[in-house]
Amino acid sequence: MKRYSFLELAKNAFSAHQNWGRQWRSPEPKTEYDVVIVGAGGHGLATAYYLAKEHGVRNVAVIEKGWLGGGNTGRNTTIVRSNYLWEESAALYNHAIGLWQGLSQELNYNVMYSARGVMMLAHTVHDVQVAQRHIHANRLAGVQNEWLTPEKAKEYCPPLNISKNIRYPVMGAALQRVGGTARHDAVAWGYARGADDLGVDIIQNCAVTGIRRGQDGAVEGVETSKGFIKAKKIGVVAAGHTSTVMDMAGVRMPLESFPLQALVSEPVKPAFPCVVMSNTIHAYISQSDKGELVIGAGTDQFISYSQTGGIHISNHTIDAICELFPHFRRMRMLRNWGGIVDVTPDRSPILSKTPVAGLYVNCGWGTGGFKATPGSGHVFAHTIAKDEPNPINAPFTIDRFRTGRLIDEAAAAAVAH
Amino acid sequence: MSQPFRTEKGGRIDRSQQLTFTFDGEEMQGHQGDTLASALLANGVHLVGRSFKYHRPRGILTAGSEEPNALVGVYRNGDQTPNLRATQVELYQGLEAISQNRFPSLGFDVGAVNDRLSMFFPAGFYYKTFMWPKSFWDKVYEPVIRAAAGLGKPPKNPDHDHYGNLYAHCDVLVAGSGPAGLAAALAAAETGAKVLLCDEQAEFGGSLLTEANATIDGKAPADWVADAVAKLQAMDNVTLLSRTTAFGYFAHNYIALVERVTEHLPTPDPKLPRERLWQVRAKEVVIAAGSIERPMVFPENDRPGILLAEAGRTYLNRYGVKVGHKVVVATACDTAWQAAFDLADHGVEVAAIVEMRETPPESLMSIAKARGIRVEAGCIVTGTLGRKRIKSALLGRLMTSGQVASGGQVDCDALLMSGGWTPTVSLYSQSRGKVVWDADKGAYVPGKSVQKERSVGAAKGLYGLQATLEDGYAAGEEAAKAATGKSATITYATATGGEAGDGGTLGALPHDRNASRVKAFVDYQNDVTAKDVKLAVREGMQSIEHIKRYTTTGMATDQGRLSNMNALQIASGALERPMTDVGLTTFRLPYTPTTFGVFAGVARGDFFDPVRKTPSHDWVVDNGGVFEDVGQWKRTWYFPKNGEDMHAAVARECKTVRDSVGLFDASTLGKIEVVGPDSAEFLERMYTNPWKKLAPGRCRYGLLLNDAGFITDDGVIGRLAEDRFHVTTTTGGAPSVFATMEDYLQTEWPDLDVWITSTTEQYAVAAVQGPKAREVIAPFIEGVDLSNDAFPHMSVREATFCGVPCRLFRISFTGELGFEINVPRRHGKMMWETLAKEIEKHSGTTYGTETMHVLRAEKGYIIVGQDTDGTVTPQDAGMTWAIGKKKFDFVGKRGLERPDLVADNRKQFVGLLTKDPKVKLEEGAQITTAETPATGTPAEGHVTSSYYSPALDRSIALAVVKNGHALDGKTLYVPMPEGSIPVEVTGTVFYDKEGARINV
Amino acid sequence: MLLVYCPYCGVSRPETEFSCRGEAHIARPADPSQTSDEDWVNFLYMRSNSKGVYVERWRHIHGCGRFFNAVRNTVSDEFLKFYKTGEPMPDLEELAKEAGK
């Protein structure tokens, strides 16, 4: 692999950029691999990369029905943070933060991880209680998170409206300074390039149509639109389509796939320094390096694979944005799109072995999977390579729904009294 | 001379009305009917902006909403709106516009150094560098990149304008009012169908307003438009919306339109919304969005003075503006010739028609010859000269070898180009239809309809005036028939002229220049060149989505409407695969950028979310109470007196309740009436507690779980009669408890004979708590013996309060003697004011939610959602007493038996007392066994509630702690940044442990 | 904004008048205490999450308040059938075939 650097860029400038090589190959599938990963999103590619890099498992194929990075990886609002409540979650997401910090150098691909801070607003007494609980829990867990008064919040994010006269005034905010954003496409491409360089075959435009299991119940390989591919281990990382793929192996999942919308404004000069989230009034906003305000909207109430959603969902998000940042009201929406997010009953992911030998699943990231990409791939690679979970993902089993040992991030923010 | 490029006569502008406007501070003149773009061109101004990446000088390219270059900021009343297309901004007296993305000025922009250094900035360069040193990305590189990127400056002030919202239904929605759209609207309207016709422009007519060489029913096209619009206007079943863009096509034929109501007026009526959102459910939709012309991709195709051919013709015929005095027309198709002819007819020198085709149609050649226009057939433009305005074009002759031979140089001050036409399939694509490649037309056209829509005319690649009109009429008839079943005999108009043209080209043109040094732009706004697209392919990008994202082609504010087809062709060539294999990006809503205010609509300020108030609200306001938001409710938080802070007010309120009496508004608690012979059985199944043996007139605390086994709600339930219960829920849980009950009742147990009704809003509830509570209510209550024997704790009676029927509960959430009086809501104000007055006689107090929280915490009563968080079981909460042991089933019973819910080490509800009584713990603080736990130590639990207790004159706290029930008296720690706080585990009841005060 | 038909009211109304309550025909076991942990988790959480024809529950929350079922294609969001609670699940293959015509 030709390393990227400023010097290399300059050198290539003088040959009119005619000599850049491919970032990844487009191979035809071999008949057999040690591991087949289903789904070439960020998580799947990262899994393949770490399998090859850290576990020496290089005979790996990543099978993708469309184009790599084309699902939720390329559709999300790119927020990175780790200030989750439960120790299990905080450990998982903080593991990812650690990897984010060196990811551009690790991959030799600028993923533009920008630790500009993620601020989560509190609008009610209950919000304040929940935020404080997070901050205390995070401090003990070694996760950076701090409380800001409304005035301090405005100092950190000058466009924020902290007037007491709005419907839900800002009562303060939890700030994670190491949180921020990253360039979503670059994450997929960086992992693809890295994995490809280590020998991983990324096979795009190849749909998985079946999972073949042997007499003993263990997996034998995948049926695809390009023929049968033999593999003793299969990792399913198919996000919104996980239920469909797992169904091929006869495994029913505790998942529902909802449409999630996001949108961007027309690009403007720098106007917004950080990431602001409000779970109470449903507003998620940052500004991309290109200048677009990047805004996350909510999910529709029904499951759907349409990659579109209702206008009332985006209306509801934009009215919240306009209340918190009233001078953005004259800005204009440039593009609105939808993704398909797979949601578990406790809003925490599943990174787990399955009842089927040789079959592993990484799913259920809901609306927040992007931030976990490096960490998720890292521990999932471990799980596949060793056939046992890394201690970090050990709690994130499918079996927790049977036993009741949930990791309930949603309930922790439950509506009170 | 003012407006040196204005024609002598003609066009649709009102020459009698002269308007003054400024651009970058320079004053200029235009006319009513001009756009900012046409007025600028009339003044000879082509340079209007700088490009995104290289800061190259850019001019007006189009005459429509697809304009990529001429983006300006417009000021009005101190508010600035960035990124408006000059081609869409209607001129008004005093309009103030500024150019964007340049510093210090449009003429001299330091950012233009990027253009000189562009060899270092190919597509995706930023992925390959800025990685060293590690800390420099967000501290150094990124700020520089961010400052350079972005187009206009964001608005500085909160927006003072307001925005409207309307819902509408119609039989046939027609989007676009060119020949096809107008004909469709006429035909559909004729059948009596309810028709809504919208067009993004100020005037209806679309391309007909530009067409000067045709007739319809013997009239000039613009006159026919005027008659057609007048006819439609006169019909009751037709709604006409100009300046209105159909921007979003949603599921089930739900279309969103934005109407720009006042933006074109010099002094808008402040009562009118600036813009208005229309949400239309249409039975049928006719998409008459037309088509747009494609730029030709040749080196330096981006200089100011280079426009699309039809745009040049529009400026001439519609706005009376000549794009130059000496014009070169470069084309690969017939239609652009007409632009050359029209210009020549207005006395503009046409320096040459540079026609890519070797043998253009003889008919065109002869017209050109008659006008003395030089034609260079088999030629292309291979470059242009002139930095801020084109000065000349370089010509190249296409050789049979595929090579290009130099064809000399032609001086000019404007160049019109046409690479052919691209149907506008955005709305069709949004409707989730899949476009199909039409090789004959060389275009993607709409395929099968997925929703109830049909594309007509140029939007489906059908050209020629007569054919378009016929298509429109037929579609209008069909749509109306499909929507209403009705039809009528429609007379079609007939047209002459406006014939369809042949020709067109896709992708980059060959040239004889140094390929590594020249730039041929594919996406103007994002500065994407043909080389960039090829580089992306060279680097392994195979899908058009990758190419788009890597180069950013098609991601500018026109969403690639101008660039996509050229980019596809270039990619297909580089990949050596047919274009149809490369894929196609998806058009997303909105069709054109749409103001956020339109989406937010009226949901701002008090209308952001409904405010729910209790009957005491006004009294509380008058008496200085402070509110907190609990869901949509405004609940009184505390009542500061004489400048008290919250702590002092709450301490006083708490003390007063325990000493004498307090009055609290409990109206927000959810209330559900459960009625019917199977009521008790139903509650038996819903709640953990047993209900069948509860006697009428008695109450019981009820605990509600979900089927997973976790606590979700609680409340007191009173049995009014054998078949009637009054259920109360938490404030926040009211809607979900009701929905859950309905769910089980309707779908799991339809056999039960029970009706449930939400009565939360039907009752106003006053809680009177404290030793003197009985004395306070006694004067007003009739029909109940209030003595402790006759009406003990946990009883309910129907009585009257001041003669008004009420439900009187004897219950307590404070540990004191307490009553809750439910009266019909309309009497709530009277009840509150009566009681507020009465408690004064007993030195009582009104109190808010904070005091309520303290008093209940002193008694160890849980608050669901604060002390529980969706992971707590009744056993965890120490409430096994609330579980009916002999019950066959209840919601959550089976869930409670699951392995983890019966495991050891569960977090259990306990009390905590700090060793130092003055230290109050923070809610949410973590609990550990070690005094100074290492980072990463799992917490034993956390503090759920913590207060200063006036009754105990010390701090108290409630918490959940692992195996907490077994740790009574043990010391644990609450590690804080300032040091660890030692605490003792206790029971949860801190005050009146025997519960004597409640039974007096 | 979907258009939803309430089979009790006999009218089509915008989606915001309704509440979608997840997959239909998942019956709560009649005797929970005799239900295994595996069957209980199936009832609680396991869902088909079908891509294509799917049966779901809706409630006319701002109308008659009744629950009913709908068959919807989760790829196109097109409704294929609405029917009252208690009525048997229609033949989904048949419905899909009809819709494909």
Do A308 and B605 count as a contact with CB atoms less than 8 A apart? no
Residue A60: phi and psi, rounded to 5, are -125, 140
- The pTM of the full predicted model, rounded to 2 decimals, is 0.97
Residue B210 makes CB contacts below 8 A (sequence gap 6+) with B310, B313, B314, B317, B318
Class for the domain spanning B505-577: mainly alpha
Q: For domain B867-876+894-999, say whether CATH 2.40.30.110 is its number.
A: yes
Do C1 and B252 count as a contact with CB atoms less than 8 A apart? yes
CATH number of the domain enclosing C38? 3.30.2270.10
The answer to whether B735 faces chain C, any CB pair under 8 Å, is: no
Amino acid at A286: S
Nearest chain C residue to B167 by CA distance is C14
Chain A environment of B604 (Cβ under 8 Å): 319, 322-323
Q: Which residues 889-948 of B are in CB contact (within 8 Å) with A? A: 895, 898-901, 922-926, 928, 933, 935-939, 942
Kindly report the number of other CB atoms within 10 A of residue B438's CB atom.
Answer: 15
Distance CA A384, CA A352 (A): 9
pLDDT at B410: 98
The answer to whether B750 faces chain C, any CB pair under 8 Å, is: yes
Nearest chain B residue to A187 by CA distance is B127
Query: What is the per-residue pLDDT across B343-360, written as a single tens digit (0 to 9) for each?
Result: 999 999 999 999 999 999
Name the residue among A68, A87, A326 with its Cβ closest to that of B159: A326
Q: B693: which 2 tokens?
A: 């043996």
Average pLDDT of the residues in B880-894: 96
Mean pLDDT of the residues in chain B: 96
Q: Which residues 15-74 of C are in CB contact (within 8 Å) with B? A: 19, 21, 27-29, 31-33, 35, 37, 40, 43-44, 57, 59, 61, 65-67
Q: Are strands B453-455 and B275-287 parallel, antiparallel or unpaired?
A: parallel
Distance CA B329, CA B989 (A): 90
Per-residue burial over B250-285, b = 16 or more CB atoms within 10 Å of its CB, e = otherwise:
bbbbbbbbbbbbbbbeeebeeeebbbbbbbbbbbbb
Judged by DSSP in three states, B865 sits in coil
Average pLDDT of the residues in B525-534: 95
Q: How many Cβ pairs closer than 8 A exist between chain A and B? A: 352
Q: Which residues 587-626 of B are in CB contact (within 8 Å) with C? A: none
CATH number of the domain at B14-126, please?
Answer: 3.10.20.440
Residue B16 CB-density burial (10 A; 0-12 exposed, 13-18 middle, 19+ buried): exposed
Class for the domain spanning B665-762+781-812+822-833: alpha beta
Query: What is the per-residue pLDDT across A334-363, written as a single tens digit (0 to 9) for each?
Result: 999 999 999 999 999 999 999 999 999 999
With a cut of 50, say whether residue B209 has pLDDT above it: yes
Name the residue among A101, A332, A403 with its Cβ closest to that of B593: A332
pLDDT at C101: 63
Do A9 and B159 count as a contact with CB atoms less than 8 A apart? no
Fold of B163-291+423-497: FAD/NAD(P)-binding domain (3.50.50)
How many distinct structural domains can be found in chain C?
Answer: 1
Q: B595: which 2 tokens?
A: 């103001």
Rounded to a whole number of angstroms, the distance from the CA of C93 to the nearest CA of chain A is 17
Name the residue among A304, A308, A342 with its Cβ closest to that of C74: A304
Rounded to a whole number of angstroms, the distance from the CA of C91 to the nearest CA of chain A is 20
The answer to whether B581 faces chain A, any CB pair under 8 Å, is: no
The answer to whether C15 faces chain A, any CB pair under 8 Å, is: yes
Average pLDDT of the residues in B885-914: 96
Rounded to a whole number of angstroms, the distance from the CA of C8 to the nearest CA of chain B is 13
Q: How far, CA to CA in Å, does B775 sit from each of A275, A380, B141?
A: 56, 68, 74
Upstream peptide bond of B104 is cis (omega within 30 degrees of 0)? yes
Q: Do domains B14-126 and B505-577 have the same CATH topology?
A: no
Q: B19: which 2 tokens?
A: 């308007």
Query: What is the per-residue pLDDT across B417-461, written as a single tens digit (0 to 9) for each?
Result: 999 999 999 999 999 999 999 999 999 999 999 999 999 999 999
Fold of B295-419: FAD/NAD(P)-binding domain (3.50.50)
Q: B580: which 2 tokens?
A: 């149809």
Rounded to a whole number of angstroms, the distance from the CA of A254 to the nearest CA of chain B is 14
With a cut of 80, say whether residue B969 has pLDDT above it: yes
Chain C environment of B894 (Cβ under 8 Å): 29, 32-33, 35, 40
Do C40 and B898 count as a contact with CB atoms less than 8 A apart? yes
Residue B443 is classified by DSSP as E
Q: How far, CA to CA in Å, does A216 sit from each of A197, A210, A235, B353?
A: 35, 17, 19, 76
- Residue pointed to by tokens 């392919």: B537
**Domain limits of chain B?**
14-126, 163-291+423-497, 295-419, 505-577, 665-762+781-812+822-833, 867-876+894-999
Rounded to a whole number of angstroms, the distance from the CA of B288 to the nearest CA of chain A is 22
Do B142 and A17 count as a contact with CB atoms less than 8 A apart? no
Average pLDDT of the residues in A292-308: 96
Query: What is the per-residue pLDDT across B6-45, written as a single tens digit (0 to 9) for each?
Result: 999 999 999 999 999 999 999 999 999 999 999 999 999 9
With a cut of 70, say whether residue B581 has pLDDT above it: yes
Average pLDDT of the residues in B167-181: 98
Average pLDDT of the residues in B245-255: 98
Nearest chain C residue to A242 by CA distance is C49
The model's confidence at residue A417, banded by pLDDT at 50, 70 and 90, is: very low
Average pLDDT of the residues in B167-173: 98
pLDDT at B138: 86
Average pLDDT of the residues in B173-184: 98
Residue of B423, B397, B495, B559 lying closest to B65 (CA atoms)? B559
Nearest chain A residue to C19 by CA distance is A301
Distance CA B247, CA B250 (A): 10
Q: B803: which 2 tokens?
A: 């003669």
The model's confidence at residue A412, banded by pLDDT at 50, 70 and 90, is: low
Query: What is the per-residue pLDDT across B725-764, written as a single tens digit (0 to 9) for each?
Result: 999 999 999 999 999 999 999 999 999 999 999 999 999 9
Average pLDDT of the residues in B638-648: 97
Q: Vertex B168, ends B164 and B172: CA angle to 5°?
A: 135
* Higher-pLDDT residue of B643, A414: B643
Average pLDDT of the residues in A375-398: 98
Chain B environment of C2 (Cβ under 8 Å): 251-252
Q: How far, CA to CA in Å, does B603 sit from each of A167, A331, B771?
A: 10, 16, 46
Name the residue among B153, B589, B604 with its Cβ closest to that of A269: B153
Half-sphere exposure of residue B327: CA atoms within 13 angstroms, side-chain side: 33
